Structure formats: structure tokens, C-alpha cells
Structure 1
């Protein structure tokens, strides 16, 4: 299965794979792959996450010390000044998709770069259904909202729970999973992607993913695309 690219591309040379979703080019540029998030290697006092090494090795096996095609994102740089891009092998195969199909990364959708999100979710689901990689112990991947702690702040997490309250604020909709965790969706994006009355979600179980934040009400997770929140 190779997703053929449709944007303008440049040929680049990958000097080194930094981790499962970041590479360094021979000109020194760091490139963060769009649409996926791989488990993190050890840094600082954080120990390596499960499958971080396998994801890094798999990406290295595909692109390290090789010429690949790079397609820049709509958003060119992330806040760490890394280039945001899709990588393709010389035969056109989508590198991000290959990692997802092996269960070595999670799909993410961060606007404005969302045009492959549904295709990438399908690739992740292939790995999930087959129990590959990270999905071999899927029940351990999802955190209970009650178990979130200071250690999770700023980290990418998968959370699963029941929506106990729906709060409609001026700019955002908050889906509360218990007292101390809420999913935050901007009203404008709710209208674009989900539509309808959010109250209908009360009592539903959801799987949500993203980077955990904290406010005075507890832990929060901002969601800006349906790929990041599955309603079960």
C-alpha cells in the first residue's frame, strides 16, 4: 500500500535518524514527520517509552543514509524550528504509513496538515487489528483519566473513559471524563468536524490522544481533529 504524494517534493539525503518520527538531513536540517507520533526515546529523567527503540530502528532501516523525497507541510516549521514534512521512499511509498502499519507510531492530526489523517488512521487500525507493535498490548496503552498525574503533563498520552459532563463555554466545548480531566475542542472546529449538539455525547466512551495540559480544573487535552478522538 503506497500513498502516492500529491504536493511539490524535493530530493533530500537523510544523514541520521534521531528517533521514530524525526530525522536529520545532510544539510543539518531537522525534519519532524507529519501525521505520526512515535514513542519517545529516553531523555532527561524520562525513561524510554515502549517500542521507542524499535520505531527508531524501523525508520532508520527505511531512510537512514539514503536519498528520499520530502514534501513540506502547509505549516513549514514546528515550535522547535524543525521542518514539518512527509517523507516518501524513491518508489513513492509513504514512510509515515509504513511505521503506522507496523504499529510503531500513533496517528496524529494537527491542523492545518490533516489531509492524510484518515488514510493514516486506517493504516494504524490495520496494525491495531493485527496486534502489531504497540498494539500487542492495547489495553495497556490507554490511561484511565483518574490515573493522570504530574508525570503526564506535556506528554503524549492515550486516554479512555466515559464522558460524564459536557460544558459549552464561549470559545470551547469541554467533554469531562470525571472531575479532573477534560477534552477541549474549539467551538469552530466542533462545527466543522463534528456538528450537532455535543450534549449527545454524555455517557459515551471515548478514546482520545494528544499532549496533556493542566489548568485550574485539572488535566486537559486539546483536540482539533476527529482522528484524535474516537467515539466508541
Structure 2
């Protein structure tokens, strides 16, 4: 497949020059779209000045560099709901991917330390401004919210900025693992500098083995693993008879061999669930673990 245009020898008006440039750009876009999997488009010009664009190379053709990134659409931020959720024009609600900010006060829930600070920072940064959405593998969650990384025209990655300032923690949920390494490094630095929530006693590590009540919200726990067990759906790091850390077997490929945690002390981040007198914390990504010894 190819597109061509002729280069005329007589003078061309500015309007016609603009139209010609537009047609060339349009031809390239149309060609790249129609080719689907074609990775390279070539430009050739013959002795008479005729320019040809094609996916088939010729001896005198040169490859064009095309931007392989998907096109970005800007949306205006209408409202900041909390530290990790915003509403965009048209009523589009977006949950920021890869992070979790503390909850704020609502009719059904008591706010958590750091929640108001995260919301205020995000509101001051985004209210009324335009952001670009970048999706990962899943475009929305079961609440019908869009799942995205937000970027400003300046290039600032908002999800990452929240982590860098200690206003949000990293929570990676496969298959959405884009920017995971970058955000994990940023979180380690924020914790080292005791920024934001990392300086708050509410989020200081607790003993998982001494758990008797279900805490609310995201927390940090220290535990020693006494046994590694596996069932049809989950692998479990056993802390005590009624406390464990669960990893779905479908997520195991992301983790190192679990036996390496046996008889070791670890720090684990996340949310506790309770069934009768049994407590469990589910981990979806290795970033929720820190080996302490």
C-alpha cells in the first residue's frame, strides 16, 4: 500500500502549501492505521519530485519515525473527591491507579489521618485544570470508575507525585503494573525521609500476631512466618493458627519462591479481613512485602 503526491515546479500559494502538508500528514496517519501491525513507513522521492509513502521499502526510500504512543485526550477536572479519586468533565469518575490515599470523612466512614492533606493537595493541583489519562490493562473497576494514571501537560505524573510526597501509598493490583518500579522507589524514599503518612504514628507497624480486632483501613504489620501452605486458589504464609497472609495462585508468578519467607520476619502492607475469629491480609504484588531479616 502506498500514497503519493507530486511536487509542482510552479509557485504555490501559502494556502495550497498548508493543504499539501495537511494531506501528507493525513496520508501518513491513514496509512499507519490501515497497516495495523506495520512497524515502519517509508518515504521515497523520484527524479520528478513525486513523493511516495509506503510500508514497502525501496532502494532510495528512508524510514519515517512515527510516534507509537496512543493519542492523548485532555479532560478538565471538575471535582476532587478525595486523595485518589476525581471527577472529570462529562461526569467521568477516575480512580488513580497504583496508589491509595487515606480516606476522608463521609456519611458512612470516619476519615483517616492524612486523608484531608491528600485531598487538599490534589484539589490545589488539579481543580479546574486539564489532565491526560493513561490507562493500563484494565480501563475500569467494578464501581464503573475509570482506572488511570493522570498527567499534566507539563509532564508531571500525579499518581507518582502523591507517593513522592508521602500523601499516598503504593498499591499495585495486577495486571495493572505500569510504573510499579518507579513508584516503589519513590515510596521507599518518602518513607526514608518520613514524609506525610510515614511520620504518622497511626501508620506505624503493628504486630500481626497480636491482632484481636479488625483494624480499619490500610496498615503496616510485622510478622514472622511459621509455615507456607497452598490450597487450590491461594497460597498462604501462616503467622498463627488464626492469622495468615494470602496470595492468589494466579498472582504467584510475580513473587519470589514463598519458601524464602519461612521463619523470617517481614513487614506487610494492606487491609485486614476477618471471618469469625480468623484474620487474613491479601497481598497482590511483591511491593506489599519487606523482608526484615
TM class by shorter-chain length? 0.7 to 0.9
Q: 1:216 Cα deviation (Å)?
A: 5.7
Q: Alignment partner for residue 194 of structure 1, among 230, 255, 269?
A: 255
- Secondary structure of 1:214's counterpart equals strand
Q: Alignment partner for residue 160 of structure 1, among 222, 247, 259?
A: 222
- Structure 1's 139 and 66: CA in aligned 2 closer, same or farther, altered over 3 A? closer
Within 2, Cα distance between the matches of 1:36 and 1:222?
A: 16
- The question of whether the paired residues in 2 share the 8 Å contact of 1:209 and 1:228 is answered with yes
Q: Alignment partner for residue 118 of structure 1, among 151, 162, 181?
A: 181
Q: 1:219 and 2:219 equivalent? A: no
- The question of whether the paired residues in 2 share the 8 Å contact of 1:8 and 1:71 is answered with no
Aligned residue-pair number: 223
Within 2, Cα distance between the matches of 1:45 and 1:148?
A: 24
Partner of residue 268, structure 2: 208
Within 2, Cα distance between the matches of 1:63 and 1:215?
A: 40
Partner of residue 182, structure 1: 244
Q: 1:147 and 2:211 equivalent? A: yes
Within 1, Cα distance between the matches of 2:71 and 2:279?
A: 40
Alignment of 1:63-102 (within 5 A): 63-102=126-165
Within 1, Cα distance between the matches of 2:264 and 2:150?
A: 37
Q: 1:177 Cα deviation (Å)?
A: 2.1
Within 2, Cα distance between the matches of 1:102 and 1:55?
A: 9
Partner of residue 170, structure 1: 232
- Structure 1's 151 and 132: CA in aligned 2 closer, same or farther, altered over 3 A? closer
- The question of whether the paired residues in 1 share the 8 Å contact of 2:267 and 2:289 is answered with yes
Q: Alignment partner for residue 37 of structure 1, among 75, 97, 100?
A: 100
- Normalising by structure 2, what TM-score? 0.70
- The question of whether the paired residues in 2 share the 8 Å contact of 1:7 and 1:71 is answered with no
Unaligned runs of 5+ in 1: 1-5
Query: Which one has a bigger Cα radius of gyration?
Result: 2
- Secondary structure of 2:190's counterpart equals helix
Q: 1:139 Cα deviation (Å)?
A: 7.9
- Normalising by structure 1, what TM-score? 0.87
- The question of whether the paired residues in 2 share the 8 Å contact of 1:21 and 1:36 is answered with yes
- Structure 1's 86 and 36: CA in aligned 2 closer, same or farther, altered over 3 A? same
| Residues 84-127 of structure 1: per-residue CA shift (max 9 Å, x gap) | 01100111111011111110000010011112111101111111
Alignment of 1:42-61 (within 5 A): 42-44=105-107, 46-61=109-124
Q: 1:8 Cα deviation (Å)?
A: 4.7
Unaligned runs of 5+ in 2: 1-68
